[in-house]
Structures are given as C-alpha cells and as structure tokens.
Amino acid sequence: MIIIRDGTFSVPFYYGDLTMKLELKNIQYSKFASQETACYEAKLYVDGKPLALVGNQGHGGCDYQYSLNDQNIDDKLRDINKYLSTLPKMKSKFHYGDGEMTTHEFTVDLELWCGEELNKWINSKKLKRILKKGSMILDSDGDLFYWKHFIPSDTIRKHHPKSIVLNDLPFEKALDVFMSKDPDVFCNE
C-alpha cells in the first residue's frame, strides 16, 4: 500500500518483528538538470523521523545519502537495504539498438526504492494535472487515451462501453494504471 499526500510517499515495511515506515518528503526534482539520471533531492523519513537527505545530481552517478542529524546512519541504512533486498525483484524492460526488448530483474535497495518513489511522485503530478482538466480512459485493448478537456464519464461510456475511466477511480488505483503504461507518451513536461 502506498499513501500519497502532497509530495509525501509513505510505505510501511515489515522485516521480521521490525516494522519500518519509509517516506520521502520535501521532494525537489529538476528535469532540465537530469542528464543520465534524475536530478532530485528529498528527505528520507524512517518511522516518522528524519534520517537522511537523499538525492542525485543527475550526471549519471550514484545517489547520495547524508545524515540530517550529524549522527552515523550507516547501520540504519544497512538495515533498510537489508529489508528492501527481501522484497520481490523489480523488473524492467529495455530496448536495445536492434529493437529487441529484454527484461531484467534488479534486487531492490534504497537507491532503487528512492528512484521508484520519485517516479511515482513525478507521475502523480502529471496524472493530477491531466485529470484536473481532462479525462482519461483505459480502453478494452489496454491502451490509455485522454482528452484535454473534461468529458462526463457517462458520455465516455456511451462511446467506449468497456473502458475504465481513470477519473472515476481512487487516485492510487488510477496512478497504478497510468504508471503501468508509458506516462511520457501523454505528458511532455
């Protein structure tokens, strides 16, 4: 379960008897400065308390994690990474130069988790903007379509009876559907 609130993403984790709630807050993202990786900075909260400043400069290097309270956070980061590594592997598809698509699996760590949370944050902003002024559907073939102006759901269903209107879904569900497709096709920010 992911809870999305004003740029804050909250995910409760359970590791043995340990319950860990990770959140990214105060997310700042710069598309123009993102070259090979996403240029961002955010505060990582663990169990409601600030732990680290996390981010990436956008030049292709690894993410950084700096303590917010001048304490050694290495043990806590190790615990977080240990838990995240027990999650199901993340799958990602790549197109190579020959056009062949290949799927790779990655073990989840804090850097990958932060990247995914950043993607959710960016795409939630895109989707909110689309749904605020327009309408979006998932048609019976599994393709997303949207209109830049709002169309009432009953009107959409007359023309697309087997479609799912994203405007009618709870936002978290609509975001899941939106992110399962290629959101960049819809929004060129």
- Give the three-class secondary structure for 37: coil
Specify the pLDDT at position 4: 43
Q: Which amino acid is at 75?
A: D
Q: How far apart are CA 30 and CA 127, in angstroms?
A: 18
**CA-CA distance, 164 to 162, in Å (whole number)?**
7
pTM of the predicted protein model: 0.81
pLDDT in the model for residue 2: 42
pLDDT of residue 83: 86
Q: What is the pLDDT of residues 26-80, one digit of tens each?
A: 999 999 999 999 999 999 999 899 999 999 999 989 999 999 988 899 999 999 9
Q: Which two tokens stand for residue 161?
A: 């009876």
| pLDDT value at residue 96 | 73
State the Cα–Cα distance between residues 123 and 38, nearest whole angstrom: 13
Note the pLDDT of residue 114.
95
pLDDT of residue 87: 84
Q: Look at residue 59 in the predicted model and tell me its pLDDT.
A: 93
What's the gap between Cα 32 and its chain centre? 19
Helix (H, G, I), strand (E, B) or coil at 139: coil
Q: Which residues of the chain form beta strands (DSSP E)?
A: 3-5, 8-15, 18-30, 39-46, 49-57, 64-67, 90-95, 101-106, 135-138, 144-147, 164-165
- Terminal alpha carbon distance of the chain: 28
CA distances from 45 to 1, 72, 111, 154, 166 (A): 17, 15, 14, 42, 31
Which residues, in sequence order, are CB contacts of 129 under 8 Å at separation 6+?
187
**pLDDT by 10s per residue, the chain, length 189:** 344 444 444 555 554 555 678 999 999 999 999 999 999 999 999 989 999 999 999 998 999 999 998 889 999 999 999 989 988 898 887 777 777 888 889 999 999 999 999 999 999 999 999 999 999 999 998 889 999 999 999 999 999 999 999 999 999 999 999 988 866 655 443
